[in-house]
């Protein structure tokens, strides 16, 4: 079956760095997305990785290792507004998005 695993919840301190991991097992791979979702709102796009390596975009970076079926989202200089759920999603061989359950990130002052 298809499976995406990410931690349920993480806590970090304002100004710090946090890494959210995602491992996946899917039938085929056509890219991995990270989305941010605040409570009661729709997801918003953060990053897309299709090749191995690190993609940096401001305070957020995303890494992919296809051979290991592994990705992480790195958030630097954490701000209170970063408190949200972070969703990992993989596009399979049929270009369907397979979603992880999301990681709820709690930022403390």
Partner 1 sequence: GAVVSQHPSWVICKSGTSVKIECRSLDFQATTMFWYRQFPKQSLMLMATSNEGSKATYEQGVEKDKFLINHASLTLSTLTVTSAHPEDSSFYICSARSGGSDYEQYFGPGTRLTVT
**Contacting positions for partner 1 (CB under 8 A):** 30-31, 33, 35, 40-45, 48, 87, 91, 95-97, 99-102
The smaller minimum CB distance to partner 1, of residues 67 and 95, is found at: 95
Supply the minimum distance, in Å, between the C-beta of residue 66 and partner 1. Answer: 16
Neighbour-count burial for 89-101, b at 16+ CB within 10 Å, e otherwise: bbbbeeeeebebe
- Residue 88, C-beta contacts closer than 8 angstroms, at least 6 positions apart: 4, 6, 20, 22, 24, 32, 33, 34, 71, 73, 99, 100, 102, 103
Supply the minimum distance, in Å, between the C-beta of residue 46 and partner 1. Answer: 11
The smaller minimum CB distance to partner 1, of residues 21 and 30, is found at: 30
The smaller minimum CB distance to partner 1, of residues 10 and 97, is found at: 97
**Rounded to an integer, what distance in angstroms lies between the CA atom of residue 104 and that of residue 36?**
10
Supply the minimum distance, in Å, between the C-beta of residue 15 and partner 1. Answer: 27
């Amino acid at each position: 079956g298809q499976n995406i695993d990410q931690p349920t919840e993480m806590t970090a301190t304002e100004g710090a760095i946090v890494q959210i991991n995602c491992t996946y097992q899917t039938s085929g791979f056509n890219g991995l997305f990270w989305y941010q979702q605040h409570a009661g709102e729709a997801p918003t796009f953060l990053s897309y990785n299709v090749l191995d390596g690190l993609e940096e975009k401001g305070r957020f970076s995303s890494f992919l290792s296809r051979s290991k079926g592994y990705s992480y989202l790195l958030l630097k200089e954490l701000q209170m507004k970063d408190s949200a759920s972070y969703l990992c999603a993989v596009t399979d061989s049929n270009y369907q998005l397979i979603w992880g359950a999301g990681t709820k990130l709690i930022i403390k002052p």
